[in-house]
């Protein structure tokens, strides 16, 4: 990945991005040019698009992270979004010397932050819309929707306390019912999204990619094949967003296992190299590739997950069910009981927890700068609770697959392992399988 000095420089960048700032003494996503919310504004500019009217985009990436250097893109742009691909395990893989891919990807990588909360719903929406969560309004997988008067499960577009899926998506439903900012595709970017076949037509997928061509894959090889086909078209999409979810799934279920991470990283690198190896010289030279992530993960202990509904001192003071996510909970107090709820959380949550007035969290920039979604204050509630590793917050839910206390990995908080992710960039041709140096053994 380069010299020891380069290694230390990138490590120092990552530490700086995760350093506490401001009056809250908490890390804050680098919305001013070093976050995933800044990626699409950079690409939109490179594609020569200008959006008139509507919410403003976030600033583009800082100059040193922008491979276009302010110039127009020469061909398609591909963004590979890897769920759960945190910076810290990525650098361990890169430093391990386990493969030529690892060293090559590390040389192309710089640390950036995701958004807050560090969770898929908020981060993927920020990527596809080019704005921070406070502006688009998707502030967690569980969130209060004032128009409906319910806490909704945004991934499934259902009530949070019901097992059904897509029950909120009726004939008159629109992505604008949930998100305050349309996708860049709906705003005029010619593009395609490459993701799991089963996501086709789902409410959340429509929020993310409304206006794009949907291309559904069934396996890793199918994803590589379909990406290759998209790039071979006579008029390929200007922007292709590809989403890979398996690393996040295995981290949730098996915990933070270095061997599993390296296996998944190597598989992903091989997938991209396969597409690069099949591209003709013009496509390989003119296609710009980014690989990034929605968040990293931290280890959680099943025995230290907290069911707030089973703590009467807390639940009796709540006006509605817990929202947010496992490591960053949103609490709304009954009328006149805010101080009592705050005191109960201070007493009953684990030592090291932070309970913060939501107005202070917004003012501190955790959700990004204004203008904000008009419902942001109502959606967030009164108090933000951040719990220490390895604790988490749970609600009684029938959606067992994502909220069961048996999870061994989680995210949505502000630990460096959750917040900092890689941004890997290069021309498609540069992602071809690296050649071993003279005398070095060939690697698979």
29 occurs within a structural domain: yes
439 has pLDDT over 50? no
CA distance 434 to 328: 41
In this prediction, residue 398 carries a pLDDT of: 42
Q: Domain check: are 312 and 190 in the same one?
A: no
pLDDT band at 5 (very low <50, low <70, confident <90, very high): confident
Quick check: 1 pLDDT over 60? Answer: no
Residue 88 placed within a domain: yes
Average pLDDT score over the chain:
93
Q: Do residue 27 and residue 121 come from a single domain? A: yes
What is the per-residue pLDDT for 94? 86
Q: What is the pLDDT of residue 399?
A: 44
> What is the pLDDT at residue 442?
44
Q: What pLDDT, on the 0 to 100 scale, is given for residue 143?
A: 95
Range of the domain at 122: 4-298+417-431
How far are the Cα atoms of 141, 143, 236, 273 from residue 159, in angstroms, in the given order?
11, 10, 39, 41
Q: Are residues 388 and 421 located together in one domain of the fold?
A: no
Burial class for 438, CB neighbours closer than 10 Å (0-12, 13-18, 19+) = exposed
**Is the separation of the CB atoms in 154 and 142 below 8 Å?**
yes
Helix (H) or strand (E) segment spanning residue 207: helix 203-209
| C-alpha distances in Å from residue 430, one per residue of 53, 71, 152, 383 | 37, 19, 43, 47
Instruction: Specify whether 403 is located in the same domain as 265.
Output: no
Q: What is the per-residue pLDDT across 16-55, written as a single tens digit (0 to 9) for each? A: 999 999 999 999 999 999 999 999 999 999 999 989 888 9
Asked if residue 267 and residue 173 are part of one domain, the reply reads yes
Residue 439 lies in a domain: no
Measured between alpha carbons, how far is 78 from 289 in angstroms, rounded to an integer?
5
In a domain, 223, yes or no: yes
Collect all residues with Cβ–Cβ distance below 8 Å to 388 and sequence separation of at least 6.
350, 351, 352, 353
113 and 54 together in one domain: yes
The predicted model scores a pTM of 0.95
For residue 424, is pLDDT > 60? yes
Q: Write out pLDDT tens, residues 331-340.
A: 999 999 999 9
Q: How far is CA 331 from CA 158, 178, 321, 341, 379, in A?
A: 20, 20, 8, 8, 10
- Whether residues 172 and 72 share a domain: the answer is yes
* Alpha helix positions (H), 97-119: 100-107
Q: Is residue 75 part of a domain?
A: yes
Q: Rounded to 5 degrees, what are φ and ψ at 235? A: -130, 80
Q: State residue 162's pLDDT score.
A: 77
Q: Which of 265, 35, 15 is nearest to 7 (CA)?
A: 15
Q: How many CA atoms lie within 13 A of 128 on its CB side?
A: 34
On whether the CB atoms of residues 361 and 20 are closer than 8 A, the answer is no
| Backbone angles phi and psi of 48, in degrees to 5 | 80, 20
Please give the pLDDT value at position 20.
Answer: 97
The answer to whether 124 touches 39, Cβ cutoff 8 Å, is no
Alpha-carbon gap, residue 47 to 78, rounded angstroms:
12
344 forms beta bridges with none
pLDDT band at 441 (very low <50, low <70, confident <90, very high): very low
**pLDDT level of residue 3 (50, 70, 90 thresholds):** low
Look up the CATH number of the domain holding residue 318: 3.30.1360.180
Residue 438 in this model has a pLDDT that exceeds 60: no
Same domain? For 332 and 187 the reply is no
* Residues 249 and 347 both lie in one domain: no
Q: How far apart are CA 204 and CA 179, in angstroms?
A: 10
306 and 370 belong to one structural domain = yes
CATH of the domain at 153: 3.40.720.10
Range of lowest pLDDT (2-11, 111-120, 307-316, 396-405): 396-405
CB 112 within 8 A of CB 423: yes
Q: Tell me, what's the pLDDT at 397?
A: 58
Q: What's the mean pLDDT in 129-150? A: 97
At 357 the pLDDT is 98
The per-residue pLDDT for 53 is 83
Residues 264, 396 within the same domain: no
Residue 4, pLDDT above cutoff 90: no
The answer to whether position 436 is within a domain reads no
| Within a domain: 444 | no
As a whole number of angstroms, the distance between CA 306 and CA 344 comes to 14
Question: Which token pair is 410?
Answer: 């989680």
Tell me: do 421 and 381 sit in the same domain: no
Would you say residue 442 lies in a domain? no
The Cα 215–Cα 213 span in angstroms is 6
Mean pLDDT value of segment 142-151: 95
- Coil vs helix vs strand at 414: coil
DSSP secondary structure letters along 8-55: HHHHHHHHHHTS-BTTTTB----TTTSBGGGHHHHHHHHTT----SSS
pLDDT digits (tens, 9 = 90+) for 52-62: 888 999 999 99
Which pLDDT belongs to residue 444? 40
pLDDT of residue 197: 97
Q: Which of 356, 413, 414, 400 is nearest to 382 (CA)?
A: 356
Residue 311 burial by CB count (10 A; 0-12/13-18/19+): exposed, middle or buried? middle
Q: Among 12-16, 101-105, 423-427, whose mean pLDDT is lowest?
A: 101-105
Closest to 251 (Cα-Cα) out of 17, 11, 417: 417
Q: pLDDT by residue (tens digit) across 377-422?
A: 999 999 999 999 999 999 775 444 444 548 999 999 999 999 999 9
Please tell me the total count of domains within the chain: 2
Q: What is the pLDDT of residues 49-89, one digit of tens each?
A: 989 888 999 999 999 999 999 899 999 999 999 999 999 99
Break the chain down into helix, strand, coil percent, rounded to 5: 35, 20, 45
Q: What is the rounded average pLDDT of the residues 365-381?
A: 98
Task: Summarize the confidence of residues 260-273 as an average pLDDT.
Answer: 95
On the question of pLDDT at 241 being above 60, the answer is yes
CB 104 within 8 A of CB 273: no
- pLDDT of residue 258 exceeding 80, the answer is yes
Sheet holding 191-196, edge to edge: 109-113, 420-427, 288-293, 77-82, 239-244, 191-196, 213-217
């Amino acid at each position: 990945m380069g010299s020891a000095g380069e290694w230390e420089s990138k490590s120092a960048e990552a530490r700086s991005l995760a350093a506490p700032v401001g009056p809250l003494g908490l890390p804050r996503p680098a919305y001013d040019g070093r976050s995933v919310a800044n990626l699409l504004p950079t690409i939109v500019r490179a594609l020569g698009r200008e959006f008139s009217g509507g919410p403003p985009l976030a600033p583009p990436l800082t100059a040193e992270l922008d491979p276009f250097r302010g110039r127009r893109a020469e061909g398609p742009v591909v963004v590979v979004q890897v769920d759960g691909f945190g910076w810290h395990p990525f650098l361990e893989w890169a430093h391990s010397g386990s493969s030529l891919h690892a060293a090559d990807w590390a040389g192309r990588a710089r640390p950036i932050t995701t958004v807050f909360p560090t969770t898929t719903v908020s981060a993927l929406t920020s990527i596809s819309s080019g704005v921070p969560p406070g502006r688009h309004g998707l502030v967690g997988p569980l969130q209060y929707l004032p128009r409906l008067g319910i806490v909704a499960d945004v991934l499934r577009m259902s009530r949070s306390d019901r097992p059904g899926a897509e029950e909120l998506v009726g004939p008159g439903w629109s992505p604008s019912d949930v998100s305050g900012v349309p996708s860049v595709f709906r705003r005029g970017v010619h593009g395609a999204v490459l993701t799991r076949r089963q996501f086709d037509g789902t409410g959340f997928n429509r929020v993310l990619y409304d206006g794009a061509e949907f291309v559904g894959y069934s396996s890793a090889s199918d994803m590589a094949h379909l990406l290759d086909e998209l790039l071979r078209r006579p008029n390929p999409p200007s922007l292709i967003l590809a989403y890979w979810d398996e690393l996040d799934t295995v981290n949730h279920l098996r915990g933070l296992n270095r061997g599993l991470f390296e296996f998944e990283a190597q598989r992903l690198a091989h997938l991209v190299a396969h597409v690069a190896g099949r591209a003709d010289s013009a496509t390989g030279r003119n296609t710009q590739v980014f690989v990034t992530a929605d968040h990293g993960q931290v280890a959680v202990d099943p025995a230290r997950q907290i069911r707030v509904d089973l703590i009467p001192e807390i639940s009796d003071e709540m006006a509605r069910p817990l929202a947010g996510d496992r490591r960053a909970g949103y609490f709304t107090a009954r009328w006149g009981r805010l101080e009592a709820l705050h005191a109960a959380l201070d007493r009953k949550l684990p030592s090291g927890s932070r309970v913060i007035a939501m107005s202070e969290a917004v003012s501190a920039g955790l959700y990004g700068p204004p203008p904000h979604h008009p419902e942001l204050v109502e959606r967030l509630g009164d108090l933000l609770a951040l719990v220490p590793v390895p604790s988490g917050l749970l609600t009684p839910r029938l959606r067992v697959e994502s909220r069961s206390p048996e999870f061994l990995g989680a995210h949505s908080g502000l630990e460096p392992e959750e917040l900092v992710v890689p941004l890997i960039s290069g021309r498609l041709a540069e992602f071809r399988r690296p050649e071993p140096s003279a005398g070095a053994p060939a690697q698979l």
